[in-house]
Amino acid sequence: DTGVSQNPRHKITKRGQNVTFRCDPISEHNRLYWYRQTLGQGPEFLTYFQNEAQLEKSRLLSDRFSAERPKGSFSTLEIQRTEQGDSAMYLCASSPSTVSGELFFGEGSRLTVL
Amino acid sequence: GENVEQHPSTLSVQEGDSAVIKCTYSDSASNYFPWYKQELGKRPQLIIDIRSNVGEKKDQRIAVTLNKTAKHFSLHITETQPEDSAVYFCAASRDRTGANSKLTFGKGITLSVRP
């Protein structure tokens, strides 16, 4: 499968714990995005990378959230000191830097904070 | 920042009828407007998009129209089929460099096609 891959697919954690999600984009894509989706809502933008550079971060991304893409390939999203309000589906997407604007989404990582 | 709104939140149509889903946006600088379909438990997937230099685009049974003056765009699905049942998200972005900076999504509309 050459699509966007995310893991883990599901994570259940206790409040206050740290969690990390990984995203492997489509290999030729140099843009990588993180979105968060809660039930009944559209995806909310969190951050995006062009290669290894983090170009924009949403104000939704508090200082408990950090994302990296150290070699311009895979990316990690870490949430420290999780809160119940962090429970959501975390979606990763990638796109090529071409005229096409299509985002290719992964299956998502579902986080449940107890 | 950009604000994208979709109304209503649900739409039910009879199989074979047409469905029209509308979206409004707030940022007059937005110039790229895609529509994504998300089936239950699946990832969002692009079904059609339009840029601000055209007013309409068609792809088989689906079409998108854009009214820049009124800042709204619509998705049209003809001859609806049960497999069209899904959540449809509209989105908008300022597409400066030929690729998206970021997309702002609406809340989605749940389309149900009755057999």
Per-residue pLDDT of chain A (114 residues; tens, 9 = 90+): 579 999 999 999 999 999 999 999 999 898 999 999 999 899 999 999 999 999 888 887 889 999 999 988 999 999 999 999 999 999 999 998 766 678 999 999 999 999
> What is the pLDDT, as a whole number, of residue A72?
85
Query: What pLDDT band is residue B50 in, cutting at 50, 70 and 90?
Result: very high
Minimum Cα–Cα distance from A40: chain B residue: B107
Measure the CA–CA gap between A58 and A80, rounded to whole angstroms.
17
Query: What token pair was written down for A100?
Result: 């096409």
Query: CB distance from B23 to chain A under 8 Å?
Result: no
Residue tagged 């699905």 (tokens): B77
How do A75-79 and A19-24 pair as beta strands?
A: antiparallel
Measure the CA–CA gap between B35 and A74, rounded to whole angstroms.
26
Contacts of A31 in chain B (CB under 8 A): 99-100
The closest alpha carbon to A112, from A27, A8, A30, belongs to: A8
Q: Which helix (H) or strand (E) holds B70?
A: none
CB-CB under 8 Å, B42 with A56? no
* Sequence-separated (6 or more) residues with CB below 8 Å from residue B64: B33, B35, B48, B49, B50, B56, B57, B73, B74, B75, B76
Q: Considering chain B, what is the average pLDDT of its residues?
A: 92
How far CA B66 is from CA of A96, B9, B70, in Å, comes to: 25, 20, 9
> Nearest CA to CA, how far is B93 from chain A (Å)?
10
> Nearest CA to CA, how far is B51 from chain A (Å)?
10
> What is the pLDDT, as a whole number, of residue A93?
96
> Nearest CA to CA, how far is B44 from chain A (Å)?
6
Query: CB distance from B104 to chain A under 8 Å?
Result: yes
